[in-house]
Amino acid sequence: MKEETPIIEIKNLSKWYGDFQVLDDITTTINRGECVVICGPSGSGKSTLLRCINGLEDFQKGDVIVDGVSIKEISHTKEIYKLRSRIGMVFQHFELYPHMTALENVTLAPKKVFKIPEKEAEKRGMELLEKVGLREHAHKKPGELSGGQQQRVGIARALAMNADIIMFDEPTSALDPEMIRDVLEVMVDLAKGGMTMLVVTHEMGFAKAVADKIIFMDEGRIIEQEDVETFFKNPKSDRAKEFIDRILVHI
């Protein structure tokens, strides 16, 4: 049983792009050390929700509280940079810096944000690359790495700030099947190591293995939030049922 200390509290969060409501009254809590999987059809607002949590995107109503800090209050102050450094983020298309080596990708933020000396940052960077199985690729540029390797560099980069929370936005959906496994392995290790994780994914195997909770979104709303077993066995809504049938067929 994990202790239940909330680290992210989302309270009645709503967001509009012009007239289009992309997030509709989202409320949920994520506890320290939990792994929460978010799923739902494309366009349901999952990526937008993640971007609101680390202040990459403004919202009009409600609030997000990260470890006691209100994002609404700090979103246009310098505080937001400090907060973002505590939340790692991993992207569907990796988004590595193309002009830097894997190691430089990982060490840039520790060097520039935390002002960690070069040597120390590199030592730590090498440890992280070792952890994701890429030590021997440290001096290659993203263009010389496969998709799966790039994504593992992306994970190392997110870990480099010693973040309390890591958010993954469909980390495997741009990868070939044989590479998905390597990336998921790293993610499973992280979850088992007690990292707080927020993972947008349709990898239901991953969800079943490590998720504490699953959130199903549709049209900007949370339709269900359940423990994994309940979600798969007894989805309450028809939409979740339909969705589960569809993705399970795919796997």
Partner 1 sequence: MVDVSVIIENIDLLWGGLLMTFKLFIVALAGGLPLGIFLGLGRLSSRKWIYYPVSAYVHFIRNVPLLMLIFWIYFSLPILTGGLVEPFYAAVVSFIIFEATYFGEIIRAGYQSVSKGTIQAAYSTGLNYWQMARYILIPIALRRVVPSMITQSIVLFQDTSLAYVIGLHEFVRMASLIDNRVIRPLELYGFVAIVFLVICSIGSQIVKRLETKEGERK
Ligand X SMILES: Nc1ncnc2c1ncn2[C@@H]1O[C@H](COP(=O)(O)OP(=O)(O)O)[C@@H](O)[C@H]1O
* Local structure of 64: helix, strand or coil: strand
Q: Angle between the 147-159 and 118-131 helix axes, to the nearest 10 degrees? A: 130
Strands across the sheet containing 213-218 = 87-90, 165-169, 196-200, 35-39, 213-218, 221-226
Query: Binding pattern to partner 1, positions 111-150, x when CB under 8 A?
Result: -xx---------------------------x-xx------
Applying CB under 5 A, which of residues 15, 30, 47, 49 lies at the interface with Mg ion?
A: 47
Of 34-42, 157-165, 215-223, 240-248: span binding partner 1 (CB under 8 A): 157-165
Number of residues that bind partner 1 (CB under 8 A): 31
Residues 12-41, one symbol each (x = binds Mg ion by CB under 5 A, - = not), give ------------------------------
Q: Which positions ≥6 away from 44 have C-beta within 8 Å? A: 217, 218, 219, 220
* Residue 48 interaction partner, one of partner 1, Mg ion, ligand X, none, beta carbon < 5-8 Å per kind: ligand X
Residue type, 134: L
Angle at the Cα of 151 from the Cα atoms of 176 and 191, rounded to 5 degrees: 105
Nearer to ligand X, 46 or 157 (CB): 46
Residue for token digits 């979850």? 191
**With contact defined as beta carbons under 8 Å apart, do 141 and 133 qualify?**
no
The one of Mg ion, partner 1, ligand X, none whose footprint includes residue 112, by CB under 5 to 8 A per kind, is partner 1
Residue 44 near which of Mg ion, partner 1, ligand X, none (CB within 5-8 Å, type-dependent)? ligand X
Is 56 among the residues that bind partner 1 (CB under 8 A)? yes
Contacting partner 1 within 158-217 (CB under 8 A): 158, 160-161
Helix axes 102-112, 118-131, angle to 10 degrees: 130
- Write down the residue that tokens 């298309």 correspond to: 93
From 72, 152, 157, 202, residue interacting with partner 1 (rule: CB under 8 A): 157
* Closest C-alpha among 101, 98, 97 to residue 139: 101
Q: Is 152 in the site for partner 1 (CB under 8 A)?
A: no
Q: How many chain residues interact with Mg ion (CB under 5 A)?
A: 1
Four-residue CA torsion sign, 174, 203, 222, 210: negative
Binding residues vs ligand X (CB under 6 A): 17, 22, 42-48
Footprint of Mg ion (CB under 5 A): 47
Footprint of partner 1 (CB under 8 A): 51, 54, 56, 78, 81-82, 84-89, 91, 93, 95-99, 108-109, 112-113, 141, 143-144, 154, 157-158, 160-161
